[in-house]
């Protein structure tokens, strides 16, 4: 099935069943946040980000595509360690982004946990898309005219680094259905640098639909699924609301 037949909706399906519907080499970007096995929620009890899933993601992505996978590393969250070998088997590793949160979690006997990671891989290291103009932080406080050695810079703005300290986390409330929604600002940053308008962004673990919302805001198409009908219903409300 061509992605055009699935565009701009979220489906209540197992991710492997959903991925089997998508043609080879037809998706421009994957951003996904699989269950970490840390929350105790019903959807977070069994490892679902498997070799078979990663193989399918490799199949549906174009040669110019990137894949971003949210993950964690710590006493309770070791998804980075589990998933890195799976992704490295198929994709070329590019970078590990650290997202610095503003509030911490964790036990009192230990360092306060204030970080989360995003692994970035590409399908073909010689062909991946990188929109150079989208890599700059265009806030007023990030302007400068010359580099450290006095040479003229390509942009008056500083480039985003692989440590993100400028994006606040979602602090949560009872009105939000999902346990771990990711910030739209982070998703928009990734989408801008790797896609153009009308490209297709895939998330096979949509949850509350943040990837879809960010894609829609930037005039990109999205496709995705979640195993929970409740989350799919909430995500559809966000997209159409």
6-59 per-position pLDDT tens digit: 899 999 999 999 999 999 999 999 999 999 877 777 777 789 999 999 999 999
75-92 per-position pLDDT tens digit: 878 999 999 999 999 999
Residue 230 lies in a domain: yes
With helix as H, strand as E and coil as C, how does 11-34 read? EECCHHHHHCCCCCCCEEEEEECC
**Cβ partners under 8 Å of residue 40, min gap 6:** none
The answer to whether residues 142 and 125 touch, using CB atoms and an 8 Å cutoff, is no
Q: Look at residue 146 in the predicted model and tell me its pLDDT.
A: 52
- pTM of the model as a whole: 0.88
CATH code for the domain in which residue 168 is found? 3.40.50.150
Q: State the greatest distance between any 2 C-alpha atoms of the chain, in Å, as a whole number.
A: 57
| CA–CA separation, 21 and 35 (whole Å) | 22
| CA–CA separation, 1 and 6 (whole Å) | 8
Residue 145 lies in a domain: no
On the question of pLDDT at 176 being above 70, the answer is: no
Residue 215 lies in a domain: yes
| CA–CA separation, 136 and 216 (whole Å) | 22
Domain that holds residue 108: 3-131+161-240
Percent of the chain with pLDDT over 70: 82
On the question of pLDDT at 233 being above 50, the answer is: yes
Q: Look at residue 136 in the predicted model and tell me its pLDDT.
A: 85
Residue 155 lies in a domain: no
Residue 176 lies in a domain: yes
Q: Look at residue 241 in the predicted model and tell me its pLDDT.
A: 76
Backbone angles phi, psi at 70, to 5 degrees: -65, 145
Total domains present in the chain: 1
The helix-helix angle for 79-90 and 51-60 (nearest 10°) equals 50
On the question of pLDDT at 174 being above 50, the answer is: no
The helix-helix angle for 210-217 and 184-194 (nearest 10°) equals 50
On the question of pLDDT at 152 being above 80, the answer is: no
| CA–CA separation, 136 and 156 (whole Å) | 9
Q: Buried (b) or exposed (e) across 140-166, using 16+ Cβ within 10 A?
A: eeeeeeeeeeeeeeeeebbebeeebee
Mean pLDDT of 54-68: 98
| CA–CA separation, 74 and 90 (whole Å) | 25
Residue 70 lies in a domain: yes
98-125 per-position pLDDT tens digit: 999 877 766 678 888 888 999 999 999 9
Band of the pLDDT at 1, cuts 50, 70, 90?
low
Residue 149 lies in a domain: no
Residue 150 lies in a domain: no
| CA–CA separation, 29 and 210 (whole Å) | 15
Q: Look at residue 155 in the predicted model and tell me its pLDDT.
A: 55
Q: Look at residue 101 in the predicted model and tell me its pLDDT.
A: 87
């Amino acid at each position: 099935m061509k992605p055009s037949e699935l565009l701009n909706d979220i489906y209540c399906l197992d991710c492997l069943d959903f991925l089997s519907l998508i043609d080879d080499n037809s998706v421009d970007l994957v951003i996904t946040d699989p269950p970490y096995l840390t929350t105790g929620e019903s959807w977070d009890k069994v490892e679902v980000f498997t070799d078979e899933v990663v193989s399918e993601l490799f199949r549906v992505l174009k040669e110019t595509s990137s894949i971003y996978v949210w993950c964690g590393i710590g006493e309770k969250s070791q998804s980075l360690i589990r998933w890195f070998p799976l992704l490295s088997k198929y994709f070329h590793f590019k970078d590990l982004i650290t997202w610095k949160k503003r509030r911490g979690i964790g036990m009192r006997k230990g360092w306060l946990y204030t970080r989360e990671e995003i692994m970035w891989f590409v399908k073909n290291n010689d062909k991946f898309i990188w929109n150079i103009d989208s890599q700059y932080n265009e806030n007023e406080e990030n302007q400068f005219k010359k580099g450290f050695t006095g040479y003229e810079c390509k942009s008056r703005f500083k480039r985003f680094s692989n440590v993100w300290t400028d994006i606040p986390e979602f602090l949560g409330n009872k009105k939000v259905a999902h346990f771990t929604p990711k910030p739209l600002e982070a998703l928009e940053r990734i989408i801008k640098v790797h896609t153009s308008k009308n490209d297709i962004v895939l998330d096979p673990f949509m949850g509350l639909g943040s990837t879809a919302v960010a894609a829609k805001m930037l005039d990109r198409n999205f496709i995705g699924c979640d195993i929970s009908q409740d989350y799919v219903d909430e995500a559809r409300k966000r997209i159409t609301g």
